Amino acid sequence: MNINSAHTSSSTLSKKSIYSITPFTVLDYPDKTSCIIWFSGCNMRCVYCYNPEIVLGKGRLSFVDISGFLESRKHLLDAVVLSGGECLLHDSVLDIVKALKDMGFLVKIDTNGSRPLMLKSLIEKSLIDYVSLDFKATSYKFETITLSNFYPQFEESLKILNNSGVNFEVRTTVHSSLLGLQDIESMAETLYKLGYKGIYFLQHFCNDKASLGNPGESWFGNELNDMSKNNLEIIFR
Ligand code: SF4
């Protein structure tokens, strides 16, 4: 990779914004092989967050540091997933995604939805191929669960994606102490009203993982299996 090419800025690619890298997964990009770049830092503090060390930690690697690994995975991996933390917090992400596209990778963004302008900028430049958008909570529980007030930005991100033509999914991590069935039904209704046409994925909080706020055990079971309504398909995974 020529990191001094006209398309990218070598100074932003040298910033240590990356916490770590997962070299291979078949779980994170639908039907594709990928690696995951974990960006440090987040503007939320979700009670159930599994990645406290990434959220609270400092970046340890730059894109330049991992470029040799990525070069070696050209034509072996289909895609690179940008996750975190919140990858869209980093100004370097624009140049990083350009560099990944120059290398021939599909790019997936995992985002909490708090940076709609960055998301829009990447979409307008045709730089992303798939997005996973977190829907953290109803508007009335958003601050309690995320310790932040980015609900309006989440809705803005959803509207941008709805109008973009980019493949994307909306997902919610559910913990029984934080979201009840009525909350989840309300969130599904919100997605429907805002024009979301895709599948709404629910994923159960993993009781055996360390988390940021230690919310205790979650007990959801079969009641989440069949919640599809209003023509919105809901899948519990
Ligand atoms: S779960 Fe919340 S705190 Fe953790 S990385 Fe995602 S948005 Fe940030």
Q: What is the DSSP string of 150-204?
A: -HHHHHHHHHHHHTT--EEEEEEEE-TTT--HHHHHHHHHHHHHTT--S-EEEEE
Residue 209 lies in a domain: yes
Residue 177 lies in a domain: yes
CATH number reported for the structural domain that contains residue 209 in this entry? 3.20.20.70
Residue 1 lies in a domain: no
- Amino acid (1-letter code) at residue 214: N
Q: Given this model, what pLDDT does residue 231 score? A: 77
Cis before 113 (ω within 30): no
Q: Given this model, what pLDDT does residue 230 score? A: 67
What is the best residue among 86, 144, 173 to mutate for testing ligand 1's pocket, by most ligand atoms within 8 Å of CB?
Answer: 86
Residue 5 lies in a domain: no
* Model confidence at 97: pLDDT above 70: yes
pLDDT grade for 1, boundaries at 50, 70 and 90 = low
Token pair for residue 120?
């829009």
Q: How far apart are CA 184 and CA 48, in angstroms?
A: 16
Q: Given this model, what pLDDT does residue 4 score? A: 46
Q: How far is the CA of 5 from the centre of ligand 1 (A)?
A: 33
Q: Given this model, what pLDDT does residue 142 score? A: 98
What is the best residue among 43, 48, 49, 209 to mutate for testing ligand 1's pocket, by most ligand atoms within 8 Å of CB?
Answer: 49
Q: Given this model, what pLDDT does residue 7 score? A: 52
Could you identify the atom of ligand 1 that is nearest to the CA of residue 173? Answer: 1
> Within its chain, how far is the Cα of 128 from the centroid?
12
Q: How many domains in the chain? A: 1
Residues near ligand 1 with C-beta < 6 Å?
42, 44-46, 49, 51, 55, 84-86, 112
For the segment 39-87, what is each residue's pLDDT rounded down to a tens digit? 999 999 999 999 999 999 999 999 999 999 999 999 999 999 999 999 9
pTM across the whole model = 0.94
Higher-pLDDT residue of 213 and 147 is 147
* Model confidence at 6: pLDDT above 90: no
Q: Given this model, what pLDDT does residue 78 score? A: 98
Domain of 117, in residue numbers: 10-236
Q: Of all protein residues, whose CA lies closest to atom 2 belonging to ligand 1?
A: 46
* Model confidence at 212: pLDDT above 60: yes
Could you identify the atom of ligand 1 that is nearest to the CA of residue 112? Answer: 7
Q: Of all protein residues, whose CA lies closest to atom 4 belonging to ligand 1?
A: 49
Taking CA atoms, 231 is separated from 182, 189, 197, in Å, by 18, 10, 9
Q: How far apart are CA 226 and CA 229, in angstroms?
A: 9
* Model confidence at 226: pLDDT above 90: no
Residue 51 lies in a domain: yes
For the segment 123-160, what is each residue's pLDDT rounded down to a tens digit? 999 999 999 999 999 999 999 999 999 999 999 999 99
* Model confidence at 101: pLDDT above 80: yes
Q: Given this model, what pLDDT does residue 178 score? A: 94
Q: How far is the CA of 6 from the centre of ligand 1 (A)?
A: 34
Q: What is the mean pLDDT of the chain?
A: 93
Residue 72 lies in a domain: yes
Helices then strands, counting H and E runs in the chain, come out as 8, 8
